[in-house]
Chain A
Amino acid sequence: MTADGGHHVPRGHAIVTPGADFHDRTAVAVGDPVLQQALHNLDRRLRTAGEAADAHPDWKDRAAEIRRETLRDLDGWLDRLERALTARGVHVHRAASPAEARRVVLGIAREHGVKTVVKSKSMATEEIDLGNALEDAGIARVETDLGEYIVQLAGERPSHMITPAIHKTLPQIRDVLAREAHSDLAVDREALTAWARGRLRGEFLRADLGVTGVNFAAADTGTLVLVTNEGNGRFCTTVPRVHVAVMPIEKVIPRLADVGVLLPLLTSHATGQALSNYVTIISGPRREGETDGPEELHVVFLDNRRRTLLHTQYEEMLACIRCGACLNVCPVYRNVSGHAYDSVYSGPMGKVLTPLLSGGAEGADLPYGSSLCHACSDACPVKIPLGDMILALRADVPAAASAPRRRRRIFWSLWARAWSSPRGYRVSTRLGRASRGRVPGLRAWTATRELPRPARESFRDRWAREHG
């Protein structure tokens, strides 16, 4: 996911057939019975998340306002945040691109002679493809969120921002872990969890560097807020000597107290929980006299074209709090899962972010894979008009002067010329009715559906006849 010159090809991502487009991948996903079985489990989450979300109906307005407050002066808020962090002894780095962000993190790792990195789940680190960059530099990288660990071992990308291995059934997970364990493991959640706990415990205790994302960063207090259920985020920010947090610039919030509203909304929409099991609120590295905690804390502000969204109709996309609710309710996502999007960000928010952050280089066809049902817009806890953005991107994504784009423009221009006059409409529809069945593109319909019976006369002809 890079728009900069040095094109870093992400390895370890889902097997995608070369030349396949979004449609092709959705077709494969729909035809995969094991994936469909795994996706069936999503229905349970939908119900619990929906119930928990209903508990705070008026908070959406407040949260929507808090998230837009920073967008009105993002640079000002980031400056405030940087000052507050620096005052707490935190090192702040600004990275315009994924390549720059990787350079910063690798630089810190080299400076400290890091051999092993433990990573907490972070979409931002996926975005900059940090995992592969660390491995290329000869540094061992261990994903510590259980779902991320599973996909790392499987050589795949996460398929959902909250539940990375949502596309895997329990037997598949067992196979992945058993291969790593070099021993037989039972297809049993307790057993698999216990094995993973033991294995990853060892990694935590010997790691030199902990890398995390950031859920929110409060500008008034210079504080980072991290949310997990497992405790891996706590380990990554407690044991290793150095902690690096990769922070997309839209994560800044005005006040620490705002998390009182934002956190329960995030967790209720993400997993149906009133609050995630752990919320870690970090205000600097360890202090004099403390027994544990990182000696050094770094935060990398990641831009990656986010500023280009400001003052456009897509600006509100930066209000996103990464709860995953839009994925959970999307009729497309629910049937194909995240890998079909072939992008770091999937679901409705991925349809919007991917083309925008890549300047149209990636995901240009994603906005078309939507039925525009707006379930996402409805579900969003911070009221991002996702459905409107997906539609608008169909017109806005710069596909240069590609032939299909030009042909499309010409077709619809001619169509509009014909259909903006009653006579043109009459003539063309008469022709259309006469040639029914021989219109190109109908095979996509008739393969699985019957066509409606042709009408003998149009309504307007009938009206004219009856009232003429």
Chain B
Amino acid sequence: MIDDLVTGLRANACSVTGPITVDEARAAIVARAGGHELVACNADVPVPGIIEALGAAGVELLLPGDPAWSARLPGAAVGITGSLVASARPAAIALVAAQGSPRGTSLVPASHICVVRVADIRATLAAAMIEIAAGELPSALTWIGGPSRTGDLEMVTTLGVHGPRAVEVMLLE
């Protein structure tokens, strides 16, 4: 199941790391996001201490509680989120909009780092949807396959249309 998810996400042009430990994930996120000026980070990222680690690396953080969040978000180069569940076949990750995890973090910045727990992987989309539909639904739930893309230009896939051009998935064991 993990292999199916990894293969599928890579086929969608995601880069995928893991399964790795929480500490390794923290280090990897800091390495990816550390070079940027402004990074948006949601509260649902299941990596304890990530905010402090990024701050220590000299990154300015945009957090959901920021009163100027919407105005500042377009200036963020990277958005970091957690996830609710993932589907192995077809390969996709479900993100939830809620207090502390805004929709825009995985949409507006050019790069999206998404943390997925291995325990949250489901075999199929159908199985995941049965589970999701039976529970409390958030105001918005978005399945993401990879970087934004279009086939509108003579039917050849081009990446980075409106959503992120780069999606990096960190699998937590």
Whether A and B touch (Cβ < 8 Å) is answered with: yes
Whether a CB of chain A sits under 8 angstroms from the CB of B79 is no
Cβ-defined contact, A230 with B163, below 8 A: yes
Cβ-defined contact, B103 with A238, below 8 A: yes
Whether a CB of chain A sits under 8 angstroms from the CB of B3 is no
Cβ-defined contact, B74 with A201, below 8 A: yes
Query: In the complex, how many angstroms separate the beta carbon of A55 from the nearest chain B beta carbon?
Result: 10
Q: Mark A263-297, 1 if CB is under 8 A from B, else 0.
A: 11000000101111111111111111111110000
Whether a CB of chain B sits under 8 angstroms from the CB of A348 is no
Assuming the contacts A260-B126, A278-B142, A289-B99, asked whether A220 and B133 have C-beta atoms less than 8 A apart, the reply is: yes
Cβ-defined contact, B137 with A291, below 8 A: no
Query: In the complex, how many angstroms separate the beta carbon of A153 from the nearest chain B beta carbon?
Result: 13
B5-55 residues with Cβ-Cβ distance < 8 A to A are 8, 12
Of the residues A44, A231, A259, contact of B163 by C-beta under 8 Å: A231
Give the CA-CA distance A38 to B153 in the complex, in Å: 10
Whether a CB of chain B sits under 8 angstroms from the CB of A122 is no
Query: In the complex, how many angstroms separate the beta carbon of B12 from the nearest chain A beta carbon?
Result: 7
Contacts of A204 in B (CB 8 A): 162
Cβ-defined contact, A291 with B70, below 8 A: yes
Contacts of A257 in B (CB 8 A): 126, 129-130, 133-134
Cβ-defined contact, A232 with B161, below 8 A: yes
Cβ-defined contact, B97 with A263, below 8 A: no
Give the contact-size bracket for chain A.
Answer: 35 or more
Whether a CB of chain A sits under 8 angstroms from the CB of B107 is yes
CB nearest neighbor in A for B70: A292
Cβ-defined contact, B103 with A173, below 8 A: no
CB nearest neighbor in B for A256: B133
Contacts of B143 in A (CB 8 A): 275, 278-279, 281
Give the CA-CA distance A41 to B161 in the complex, in Å: 20
Cβ-defined contact, B151 with A271, below 8 A: yes
Whether a CB of chain B sits under 8 angstroms from the CB of A427 is no
Cβ-defined contact, A261 with B152, below 8 A: no
Cβ-defined contact, B161 with A288, below 8 A: no
CB nearest neighbor in B for A297: B139
Known: A163-B155, A271-B151, A282-B140. 6 other contacts (CB 8 A): A44-B155, A146-B152, A173-B153, A196-B161, A197-B162, A278-B163
Residues of chain A at the chain B interface (Cβ within 8 Å): 38, 41-42, 44-45, 144-147, 150, 163-166, 169-170, 173, 189-190, 192-194, 196-197, 200-201, 204-205, 218, 220-221, 223, 229-232, 234-235, 237-239, 255-257, 259-261, 263-264, 271, 273-293
